[in-house]
Amino acid sequence: MKKLIFVTGGVCSSLGKGVAASSIGALMEARGLSVRMVKIDPYLNVDAGTMSPYQHGEVYVTDDGAETDLDLGNYGRYTNSPLSKANSITTGQVYQAVINKEREGRFLGRTVQVIPHITDEIKNRVLAPGKDPEVDITIIEIGGTVGDMESIPFLEAARQLINEMGRQNAISVHVTLVPAVSGGELKTKPTQHAVKELQEVGIQPDVLICRGTQPLEEGLKRKIAGFTNVEYEAVVSAHDVKTTIYEIPLLFHEQGLDTFLLKKMGIESRHADLRPWVEVVRKFQEPKSHIRIGVVGKYMDLHDAYKSVWEALYHGGIANEAAVEIVKIDSGRLEVDTADMKEIFADVDGILVPGGYGQRGSGGMVKAARYARENKVPYFGICLGLQIMVIETARNVVGWADADSTEFNPDSAHAVVSLLEDQVDVKTYGGTQRLGKSESRLKEGSLIRKLYGTESIWERHRHRYEVSNSYRADLEKAGLRISGLTPDDSLVEAVEWPDHPWGIGVQCHPEFKSRPTHPAPLFKSFIGACISSGRGARHGK
């Protein structure tokens, strides 16, 4: 029978449920099992697409164009689980679907209620990704904290599935907090209360993953087990790791979490093959070089706003056995006339401009791109970062001082970046976006084609504005190489600075497909170029 593992959180938010769920998925795959990952977000938004990065962090995009919670990015980095709209469930989606069915008369005049109609919809969505006959286990992370009003229907659906499928086939993993108080003493009371809250909704946890700064000693584990009706072997210490979050699957394995889960579910499996994760951690612990990457963006106050970019940079470091230090540079800081670009970028080995929306800070990004081009600093532009390269070339090489994007200046006389004609009258917010996986053709002889090793690539997109075809000839004449196009040659997908150590801009988001065990080609090459540039050596690193 198919197996389910529900991952919930107690005490407070931001305990790392997503990393815990992902690490469990990685361990199950290391045992030769096929997993599917599902994230439940209790908010009323249909998806994360219209949320500010300051509200919810990065918007992670799947191949089929779903705009989802950043935890799906964790799933993609730790596991081989295919990710699509089916892997992201929100309260908004569930209620919208049920209301639509009610309007269509699908309930035959019955009163529509949270139980059974909402919970049945949740259960159907939870089970859908695991219907593939090849799938062994579906891991479902329920967002929020147990006790929140918003989570109640999802916890009720989980309770029903556990009872219907049996405790051997549906497992509850609860992530809790064991804080250290004055003097460093670890306290178990918050965990005890968190388990009690979960029990009050009818779910007895099978496993407790206890977050804290320090490892749990045997006495504390036995105390927690005794007060929560959880087996001693199922109390897992999720203390802070020394190097990287990719060490967590190894931490869980050392404590026998995968062995316990398989025993609980009655699954026989092969010996865990964790060699790829061991190698990732080794490269983090034993870097051969150290480099600093200046990331010039708009949302620097919230670390999670560029989560996949940070991780992909680290993956590029793993591929080159280099320690990557990220220097966050607010693009607004560069817009002031007194900004000393040479001083700001003196200690960085490469510059990356990530995606973003809106005019704020765009001028600073243009100045960063100019500095990188003129001073031969490796530069990587992603989505908006490509458009910044185009604007910078138009202003400072072609000589159009007013060149801009219509997103920033609708009245620009040289709108080198703009909406397509068929997008202008679209009124639905988000309706003008190009979302999900699409094909790009890479020009022969270009650096990007050499890096991918193929003419055609499929990467994920999330953007609204495009490079204007009216100015393509002028830009190329000025030395900006257009190295990637859509198959019909109608849209620009990649540009390069030919006479430069490494200067590439892409309209796609390659960070979404990067993994620690399989770094994205562009990030791998970018980090390699930053090492080869020699700037790090000149700075005494």
Task: Write down how long the chain is.
Answer: 541
Cα three-residue angle 22-26-29, rounded to 5 degrees: 135
Rounded Cα–Cα distance for residues 484 and 495 (Å): 7
b/e per residue, 189-223, with b = 16+ CB within 10 A? ebbbebbebbeeeebebbbbbbbbeeebeeebbeb
Helix (H, G, I), strand (E, B) or coil at 285: helix
Residue 387 to residue 21: CA distance in whole angstroms: 36
* Among 361, 364, 314, residue whose Cα is nearest residue 344: 364
6: tokens are 């529900």
Q: What is the distance between the alpha carbons of residues 330 and 339, in angstroms, rounded to a whole number? A: 12
* DSSP for 400-442, written as a single string: -TT-EETTT-TT-SSEEEE--GGGTT--STTTT-EEEEEEEEE
Buried b (16+ CB within 10 A) or exposed e, 374-400: eeebbbbbbbbbbbbbbbbbbbbbbeb
Residue 443 CA to residue 454 CA, distance in Å, equals 10
Strands 481-485 and 434-442: antiparallel
Q: Which SS3 state, helix, strand or coil, does residue 351 take?
A: strand
Catalytic residue among 383, 463, 508, 530: 383
Contact 68, 57 (CB under 8 A): no
Q: Residue 254: in which H helix or E strand, if any? A: helix 248-254
Q: From CA 246, how far away is CA 242, in angstroms rounded?
A: 11
* Three-state DSSP class for residue 327: strand
439 is catalytic: no
What CA–CA distance (Å, rounded) separates 70 from 299?
Answer: 15
User: For 116, which DSSP code?
Assistant: I
- Among the listed residues 174, 315, 463, 509, the single catalytic one is 509
Active site residue 392: no
Place of tokens 């400072």: 396
**Tokens encoding 45:** 């938004």
511 is catalytic: yes
Helix (H, G, I), strand (E, B) or coil at 267: coil
Q: Which of 247, 463, 511, 530 is catalytic?
A: 511
Give the residue numbers annotated as catalytic, written as ranges.
Answer: 383, 509, 511
